[in-house]
Structure 1
Amino acid sequence: MKTDQIREAFLRFFEERGHRRMPGAPLVPPGDPTLLFTSAGMVQFKPYFMGQAKAPHPRLATVQKCFRTSDIDSVGDTSHLTFFEMLGNFSFGDYFKAEAVPWAWEFVTSKDWLGLDPDRLWAAVYLDDDEAFDLWRQFLPPERIRRYGEEHNYWFSGEVGPCGPCSEIHYDLGPEFGCGPKCEPDHEDCDRFLEIWNLVFMTYFCDGEKRDPLPSKNIDTGAGLERMAVASLFESDEWKDKSKLPSVYDTDLF
């Protein structure tokens, strides 16, 4: 699928599941002194997550242009960019893990949507998130579901702001691109695994070391458009040499 097709498919998928399509926020976020640039799809929705304002709809979906420098040392490799597009679906006190995980799986694997090979997908969950683990077990063998600690599978919007455990979908490009027989998704200096989607179970407000429950349980997901396009390209007939590692720069965006 081309990137314009992936964008539209994502929004249409979630519209069919009761979400309202919303425009992305400006790259310079208005009214948020904590950020220079919009770095995630959830930025414009922080007041809804924190219960400071009511969302226009309990389920929203967006395509958000983002700018990040946190991974700047990795920019220029096959998967990291400073400017990228994030596909996101959001729930404000409505659905939670039991819907978010199966929907993500359906979108990435169904031939009606992105249509990736299920045998190339892995999931990662927060260390003690048994609920998310059990949800992924509907689709994946346990050896392809990894449990990681806060460094990898707990998402923060900053030192102060909404946060929560998260679960990622990783695309396996093949062991030939890996770092050995024990290679797995948290090995960051390795090209085998490509994180394509992060599902954040936004349930707490973080203020330094203190974490208090948010008024409701929320969903905040972010899928990398460019990375989904890489996975789709790799499986297509267009990418003839499967021994060659694909890059975001090989997609139709560049």
Structure 2
Amino acid sequence: MNSELVKRTFVEYYQDRGHRRITGSALLPPPGDPVLFTTSGMHPLTPYLEGREHPLGRRLVNVQRCLRTTDLEEVGDLTHLTVFEMLGSWSLGDYEGPQSLDWGYGLLTEGFGIDPGLLHVTVFGGDEQCGPDTRSLELWQRHGVPVELTVEDNWWSNGPTGPCGPDSEIFLWTGDTPPESTPTGDDRWVEVWNHVMMRHRRLEDGSLVPLPQRNVDTGLGLERLTTLLQGRRSVFDCDVFDPWRRLLPPLWPLDEPSLRLVSDHLRSSVVVIGDGVRPGNTGRGYVLRRLVRRVLTVLWQDEPGRSLGDLPQELVRHTLDRFGQDVDPGLVRQVLLEEERGFGRLLRRGRQVLSRPRYQGRQLTEEELNYLHDTHGLPRELVLSLRES
């Protein structure tokens, strides 16, 4: 089952249950939104989760491209991506948590053919403000799925204030032995799907009040689920990355973690550029700049002559097509090359400045790091990287 079939199966399953498909938005939130990038499928739906009537009704499904910078340092491991697709379903004041979980169990076991014996779930166990989520617990017990009760791990919020509520997370066993332990006790249990029962609003004083409507918000990472269904260990081994694994290693021989990072960051950069962002020193532009510079830092560690100009156009075109972006691949390559040239000039200047005797043989102070940034345009992470190398 490839990623496109996984996506289609998910959407059609919910359409058969009365959900209307909404078009996934770009990575860029609307003007006035303080968030730099769309980080989840629910983000564009926030006004409707808070009570506004959605033009397509109260049951929705979509596929949303997302970008998360919070996981940037984790990229290169087996599960984290910077840009990914999120499969989502919503009840805007219609059905509640047990119905969502029941459908979720049916899709995983019947639609995707997952052995029920390989599933484990976590459920909110209650705290001093909110009691345990007994309805979710009872639903899973009826299906015979083992349950682990937690508190912090199963309370969802979008920040210190705002909509929140208990959630139930579904995990799949990926070990070579029969399932053992629990999701919090063994990392071979991999989370695949989160169902949030968005019932409350947290106020500034920390208290909870009911939302105008009781919602359900679910999110399932397409690449992660596809990887598990295909029996692969890494998201970089699923079909989404097939052309990257075929074309990059012959071009740039890299160790496995470096290959994953370069593939992820270049793919993410193409998507971000495709949505209209250009490199800069602040905001979204700086996120893109960081992605490109991290790629170049890895590529130039062993071979300074490597260039993004050698990136196969097939990879740029494949990525743009996958995310439905009508952008000239040549424009994307031009943006990448311009950033490469600028970073090369910055590296040369940085090496010259840091070679001065005053910076040798000791740790730099905060004042010096700020001076190097403000006077010479050398970002802190670049200075520290140059010092390490």
TM range (shorter): 0.7 to 0.9
Partner of 1:169: 170
Q: Aligned pairs, how many?
A: 233
Stretches of structure 1 that go unaligned for 5 or more consecutive residues are 240-245
Partner of 1:12: 12
Amino acid at match of 1:204: H
Once residues 31 and 148 of structure 2 are traced to their aligned partners in structure 1, the CA distance between those partners, rounded to angstroms, is: 38
Once residues 105 and 26 of structure 1 are traced to their aligned partners in structure 2, the CA distance between those partners, rounded to angstroms, is: 30
Give the one of 200, 209, 216 matched to 1:212: 209
User: Using a 3 Å threshold, how does the CA distance of structure 1 residues 32 and 96 change in structure 2: closer, same or farther?
Assistant: farther
Partner of 1:196: 192
Once residues 141 and 87 of structure 2 are traced to their aligned partners in structure 1, the CA distance between those partners, rounded to angstroms, is: 24
With the length of structure 1 as denominator, give the TM-score of the two structures: 0.86
Once residues 35 and 161 of structure 1 are traced to their aligned partners in structure 2, the CA distance between those partners, rounded to angstroms, is: 15
State the Cα RMSD in Å: 1.8
Amino acid at match of 2:113: G
**Residue deviations 1:203-238, cap 9 Å, x none?**
11223423221101101000111111122111xxxx
Partner of 1:62: 62
User: Using a 3 Å threshold, how does the CA distance of structure 1 residues 124 and 32 change in structure 2: closer, same or farther?
Assistant: farther
With the length of structure 2 as denominator, give the TM-score of the two structures: 0.57
User: Using a 3 Å threshold, how does the CA distance of structure 1 residues 15 and 231 change in structure 2: closer, same or farther?
Assistant: same
Partner of 1:74: 74
Larger helix share, 1 or 2? 2
- Is residue 175–residue 192 contact of structure 1 (8 Å, CA) maintained in 2? no
Once residues 101 and 43 of structure 1 are traced to their aligned partners in structure 2, the CA distance between those partners, rounded to angstroms, is: 21
**More deviation in 25-34 or 190-199?**
25-34
Alignment of 1:21-40 (within 5 A): 21-40=21-40
Once residues 13 and 144 of structure 2 are traced to their aligned partners in structure 1, the CA distance between those partners, rounded to angstroms, is: 22
Give the one of 203, 226, 229 matched to 2:226: 229
Give the one of 147, 150, 167 matched to 2:149: 147
CA drift at 1:79: 1.0
CA drift at 1:6: 0.6
Partner of 2:235: 248
Q: Which has the higher contact order (CA 8 A, sep 6+)?
A: 1
Q: Which runs of 4+ in 1 moved over 6 A?
A: none
Larger strand share, 1 or 2? 1
Once residues 149 and 34 of structure 1 are traced to their aligned partners in structure 2, the CA distance between those partners, rounded to angstroms, is: 29
